[in-house]
Amino acid sequence: MIKHCSHHGFFRGECCICGASGTLVLDEAMTEQLGRLVAGALRHFPDDLGLAMDPRGWVDLMALGDVIHKRHRWADRNMLVALVESDTKKRYEINNDKIRARYGHSVNVNLDHPENTLPYLYYGANEEEADRILEVGLKSASQRYVHLSTTPEKAWQVGTFRTGNPKVIKIDSAAAKENGIRMMTVNDDIVLSEPIPSIFLSTLPSKDILKQETIKPGISKSNTSKY
């Protein structure tokens, strides 16, 4: 659920960081419905909703507000802003009268996030995927960019969504960058990349991966939603 604190703004869960219970903005069902629609609009099918998306992935905030209100009469622009500002994963961003998804696109966009500076990045996969990736390189079948993790632990955690015993692939991102492969930093966890040839990839030994939960205590299940 999403609530509003008079001192700290929108937040997810039962209580704000200050302990206030806050005012309810969206319950769990509403958050899920609105999240699905916004994800589709900003990542996958803006044209189907009549939204004009520029090459950097931006769409008009008011236009998106009109779309969500037509689909869900209870929804308004304030709820859209609440969804964005309360999201701990920072999936979306608002800039004046524009809004966009920061990652996860299947539509063809050319994002302009800051250049990655980490010398190594990581990708979690199941054993069969890992063998294939090491042979042919790392590319995305359904998304515009390859989504990489900034640490082995985070890559392992992502890999657990595919298998119970994920393999972590190590990317020599410094060498890849020298060879013209563009990589962009989205946040502390995610880096977006163009396809990466196998020459820059290797398998990270399991003993080098700390298998630990990366979800911090106190963050509710709703905060880990894929929307």
**pLDDT tens-place string over residues 82-109:** 999 999 889 999 999 999 999 999 999 9
108 vs 5, 98, 142, CA distance in Å?
37, 18, 11
> Among all chains, which residue has been given the structure tokens 């960081």?
17
Chain-centre distance for alpha carbon 37: 15
pTM beyond 0.95: no
User: Angle at Cα 146 formed by Cα 68 and Cα 168, nearest 5°?
Assistant: 125
Domain 2-105 has CATH 1.10.10.970: yes
Looking only at the bridges linking them, the beta strands covering 120-125 and 167-172 are: antiparallel
Mean pLDDT of 36-42: 96
Structure tokens at 171: 């990317």
Show the tokens assigned to 56.
């950097």
pLDDT value of residue 165: 84
Residue range 153-188, pLDDT digits in tens: 999 988 888 788 889 999 999 999 999 999 999 999
| Distance separating alpha carbons of residues 149 and 155, to the nearest angstrom | 5
Query: What CATH architecture applies to the domain 120-208?
Result: Alpha-Beta Barrel (3.20)
Distance between CA atoms of residues 98 and 60, nearest Å: 5
* Domain-wise residue ranges, the chain: 2-105, 120-208
Tokens 């099918």 belong to residue: 45
User: According to the model, what pLDDT value does residue 127 have?
Assistant: 86
pLDDT of residue 47: 95
pLDDT at 107 (0 to 100): 95
Placement of tokens 């980490």 in the chain: 118
**Averaged confidence pLDDT in the chain:** 89
Residue among 88, 35, 74 at smallest CA distance from 218 = 88
